[in-house]
A and B are shown apart, each in its own frame.
Chain A
Amino acid sequence: TQLLEQSPQFLSIQEGENLTVYCNSSSVFSSLQWYRQEPGEGPVLLVTVVTGGEVKKLKRLTFQFGDARKDSSLHITAAQPGDTGLYLCAGARGSGANNLFFGTGTRLTVIP
Chain B
Amino acid sequence: GAVVSQHPSWVICKSGTSVKIECRSLDFQATTMFWYRQFPKQSLMLMATSNEGSKATYEQGVEKDKFLINHASLTLSTLTVTSAHPEDSSFYICSASANYGYTFGSGTRLTVV
Contact = CB atoms under 8 A, between A and B. Distances in A.
A98 B49 contact: yes
A6 B91 CA distance: 21
A97 B95 contact: yes
Nearest to A95: B97
A48 B32 contact: no
A112 interface: no
B72 interface: no
Contact of A41 (B34, B49, B106): B106
Interface string A19-52: 0000000000000010100001111110010000
A90 to B, nearest CB: 8
A42 B101 contact: no
Contacts of B100: 48
B49 A40 contact: no
Given A96-B32, A97-B32, A102 B43 contact: yes
A45 B98 CA distance: 12
Q: Classify the interface of chain B: helix, strand, loop or mixed.
A: strand
B67 to A, nearest CB: 15
B44 A102 contact: yes
Interface residues of B, number: 26
B44 A45 contact: no
Interface in B73-113: 91, 93, 95, 97, 100-107, 109
Contact of B107 (A41, A48, A96, A100): A41
B42 interface: yes
Contacts of B104: 35, 42-44
26 contacts: A40-B9, A40-B107, A41-B107, A42-B6, A42-B93, A42-B105, A43-B44, A44-B104, A45-B103, A48-B100, A96-B32, A96-B97, A97-B32, A97-B34, A97-B46, A97-B102, A98-B34, A98-B46, A98-B57, A100-B102, A102-B43, A102-B46, A103-B43, A104-B42, A104-B43, A105-B43
Interface of B: 4, 6, 9, 32, 34, 41-46, 49, 57, 91, 93, 95, 97, 100-107, 109
